[in-house]
Structure 1
Amino acid sequence: MPPLPPSIADDENDEPAAIIKTTPVQGSPNRLVLNRDGSRLYVASATPPQGITVIDTTNMSVLTTIVGVGSPIWLAMHPSAHRLYASDNSQARDTPITVIDTSSDTVINQIGGFTTVNGMALNSTGARLYIADHGACEVVAIDTTNHQRIIATAVRYAKDICVAPGNARSHVASTADDWTSINLGTNRVVFQTNTVAGEPTSIAHARFTARVYITYRDRGEVYIGDTTTAQASSILRGLLGPFQIAFHTMLERAYLTETDGNRVGIIDTRTQTVTGIIPGFDKPRGIAVAPTGRIAYVANIGNSTVAEVRL
């Protein structure tokens, strides 16, 4: 595990967190990802007009919209190659994954053989792509050099997936009220823990602690799981439609979109408590933090915009 970063109190940025600018995008923006250096933001819109909007983050201008990708919802950005993976959820079954060359923003391939693709995650080298196939009740490992299936691990109703730092394990949130950990060396289940009854919208691994955060919009809760004990570390309650969480790159802090509260919650990941909110959003969904840790980007599905946020 990497050394702990400076404490939140050591942050020299005295300006309050706030929205700096909003940029209109097409369709209903849902999830978004940054490229490696944070210079480009890719925003998925699954409802007409569908596509993936590409934004230049230096001035928050729209560069292009990638079309011919069906109804994209789930995104995964390769950590080193010019490659973006996007699910096409235009149909309930036989969901394909579209492969996009981000140097030209063109579609170069499509990966099939799935039932219903939900969450996707790459390991830190980009050699493996892991897919939560909800309809098939499995997690599929794909070799990104040839986009061939390596193996599938049975996980009931897998909804979203993340890879832990170090690439030793993945963690899966399921609509079967489960949190599952998979050994990525053997692709076997290490443990499966009951969480809460609900529909998870996302799972993410903390940067500096051995914990996963699972958001439950329908319950207004975030389940925080301790990956060393395979048990709940804490449960945050009374939230307003928690949808997705992103972690600060330098500090022990996380940011949580609350779709039904039109706000982003600020979480101290040491104390596992909500310490503040950033208001002014319109049904926020996806969130991504820039590599510098000073800026975040939030997809507003309510008014078809992306917000640039000072952290």
Structure 2
Amino acid sequence: MARLKKITTRTRRQRLMTRLGTGGLAVIGAVALALSGCGSPAGRQASTPSSSAPPGGTRSPSGPVKYELAATIPVGKGPGGVAVDPGTHTVYVGNLDPDSGNGTVSVIDGSTRMVTATVPVGRRSDALAVDPGTHTVYVVNNSDDSVSVIDGVNKTVIATVAVAPGPYSLAVDPGTHTVYAGSSDPHGGAGAVSVIDGSTHAVTATVPVGKYAGEVAVDPGSHIVYATNSGDDTMSLIDGSTHAVTATIPVAHWPKAVAVDPGTHVVYVATIDPETAPHDTQPPSRSGRVSVIDASTRTVTATIPIGKDPDGLAVDPGTHTVYVPKYANDTLAVIDGATRAVTVTAPLVPASLGHGVAVDPGTHTVYVSSFNDGTVSVIEPR
């Protein structure tokens, strides 16, 4: 019954999102996301408060890092996944459109904070990943059981790849140009990871993993793929060269998201505790944690409480900072990778259902999608 409750909750949240659409509450303000006060109001137009520095935050030479909501950028309906091409500072956002189901990808120029193109893809598109070496963008189409391949230069779809049923997440190994698509079969929950050759756009292997597989991440140094299994409360480790599962690590209840710090080879897994509120509570009250895993020993070395309902993870490899959006209370938890402590819990746009998160490692700018109001928040460290 515990497993059924997990899936019921997840499906229920999806139904809630569909009912809410993107009409939600209006965007409120350019908010100072640290220990300081509020900035001037921001509307639906992409805008930067006049006091802000040029795009690309810079860290203060001393003292605590502060975070500012520097701009909100209107994108498509129901934005979810976010990815950044660090070479071009281009941001890609998957929009699933809860009304029609027709997916698009919004292409944002990170320097001007303007949408430069909207690329039609498959149905219920969400998660994205970028190969920085080829400037190729990959996006899952959940309802089509496929992955769309986008040429980042021409901003056009150049291939559509059929993958295992229920694709949910993506990761790219930039060294081998291999793409990994995590899937959870909607009929029974069998998890699988489809392995795609980035040069031929062909599936070269399908690796069975645990039940209700969720997110995938790659360590580019070791070429190990990490796949969370929310139905088993485990994480599968896949050898990128043999495409075989080499280990299965127990983690906390309902692993939701995973990310790797390539510099330290530390793996971060966001999990959600069992529900502590009735099913009709909006939003549900579920405490979240981030498990810290040493990749060399494959053991959990720390568990960090972060508050309600984490729904994504991103690591800044230059600062070893971890970012976790929490959709229940519209905040962003900021974790210091060295101290393994939450240093800031920064407010996001109210009633936005913050979901996808990505970091530009060159500018240290953080991008968080807002499902309800169809925007992307641009957050800069100061």
TM-score by length of 1: 0.88
Task: Work out the number of aligned pairs and report it.
Answer: 298
- In the alignment, what sits opposite 1:55? 108
- In the alignment, what sits opposite 1:106? 156
Q: Give distance in 2, aligned partners of 1:82 and 1:294.
A: 19
Is the counterpart of residue 190 in structure 1 residue 260 in structure 2? no
What is the SS of the residue equivalent to 2:246?
strand
What is the SS of the residue equivalent to 1:250?
coil
Structure 2 residue aligned with 1:149, among 203, 214, 220? 203
- In the alignment, what sits opposite 1:160? 215
Seen in structure 2, the aligned counterparts of structure 1 residues 249 and 196 have a Cα distance that, compared at 3 Å, is: closer
- In the alignment, what sits opposite 2:128? 75
What is the SS of the residue equivalent to 1:155?
strand
- In the alignment, what sits opposite 1:4? none
Q: Give distance in 1, aligned partners of 2:140 and 2:106.
A: 15
Is the counterpart of residue 124 in structure 1 residue 174 in structure 2? yes
Q: Give distance in 2, aligned partners of 1:153 and 1:188.
A: 7
Letter in 1 for 2:127: W
Gapped runs of 5+ residues in structure 2?
Answer: 1-58, 273-285
Mapping 1:233-244, distance limit 5 Å = 233-244=301-312
Q: Give distance in 1, aligned partners of 2:107 and 2:181.
A: 23
Structure 1 residue aligned with 2:333, among 261, 265, 268? 265
How much has 1:11 moved relative to structure 2? 5.4
Is the counterpart of residue 12 in structure 1 residue 97 in structure 2? no
- In the alignment, what sits opposite 2:77? 27
Q: Give distance in 1, aligned partners of 2:184 and 2:159.
A: 22
Preserved contact between residue 31 and residue 73 of structure 1 (Cα < 8 Å): yes
How much has 1:38 moved relative to structure 2? 4.3
Mean CA deviation greater in 276-285 or 210-219: 210-219
Identity of aligned residues (%): 22
What is the SS of the residue equivalent to 2:328?
helix
Q: Give distance in 1, aligned partners of 2:378 and 2:183.
A: 32
How much has 1:111 moved relative to structure 2? 0.6
- In the alignment, what sits opposite 1:3? none
Q: Give distance in 2, aligned partners of 1:113 and 1:207.
A: 27
Q: Give distance in 2, aligned partners of 1:310 and 1:214.
A: 24
Is the counterpart of residue 172 in structure 1 residue 227 in structure 2? yes
- In the alignment, what sits opposite 1:245? 313
Preserved contact between residue 367 and residue 378 of structure 2 (Cα < 8 Å): yes
How much has 1:66 moved relative to structure 2? 1.0
Mean CA deviation greater in 106-115 or 14-23: 14-23
Preserved contact between residue 38 and residue 291 of structure 1 (Cα < 8 Å): no
What is the SS of the residue equivalent to 1:90?
helix
Q: Give distance in 2, aligned partners of 1:216 and 1:179.
A: 11
Q: Give distance in 2, aligned partners of 1:231 and 1:304.
A: 39
Gapped runs of 5+ residues in structure 1?
Answer: 1-9
Preserved contact between residue 191 and residue 229 of structure 2 (Cα < 8 Å): no
Seen in structure 2, the aligned counterparts of structure 1 residues 238 and 122 have a Cα distance that, compared at 3 Å, is: closer
How much has 1:81 moved relative to structure 2? 1.2
Seen in structure 2, the aligned counterparts of structure 1 residues 154 and 208 have a Cα distance that, compared at 3 Å, is: same
Is the counterpart of residue 202 in structure 1 residue 202 in structure 2? no
Preserved contact between residue 79 and residue 126 of structure 1 (Cα < 8 Å): no
Q: Give distance in 1, aligned partners of 2:227 and 2:203.
A: 19
Is the counterpart of residue 36 in structure 1 residue 106 in structure 2? no
Q: Give distance in 1, aligned partners of 2:241 and 2:228.
A: 20
- In the alignment, what sits opposite 1:7? none
How much has 1:274 moved relative to structure 2? 0.6
Preserved contact between residue 121 and residue 129 of structure 1 (Cα < 8 Å): yes
Q: Give distance in 2, aligned partners of 1:19 and 1:86.
A: 26
How much has 1:294 moved relative to structure 2? 3.0
Preserved contact between residue 224 and residue 238 of structure 2 (Cα < 8 Å): yes
Per-residue deviation, residues 109-152 of structure 1 (Å, max 9, x unmatched): 11114212122111122521112122252222221111222222
Q: Give distance in 2, aligned partners of 1:197 and 1:101.
A: 38
Preserved contact between residue 45 and residue 52 of structure 1 (Cα < 8 Å): yes
Seen in structure 2, the aligned counterparts of structure 1 residues 31 and 17 have a Cα distance that, compared at 3 Å, is: same
How much has 1:39 moved relative to structure 2? 2.6
Q: Give distance in 1, aligned partners of 2:120 and 2:379.
A: 27
Letter in 2 for 1:133: S
What is the SS of the residue equivalent to 2:373?
coil
Q: Give distance in 2, aligned partners of 1:130 and 1:89.
A: 15
Instruction: Write out the 4+ residue segments of structure 1 that deviate beyond 3 Å after TM superposition.
Output: none
Q: Give distance in 1, aligned partners of 2:62 and 2:313.
A: 21
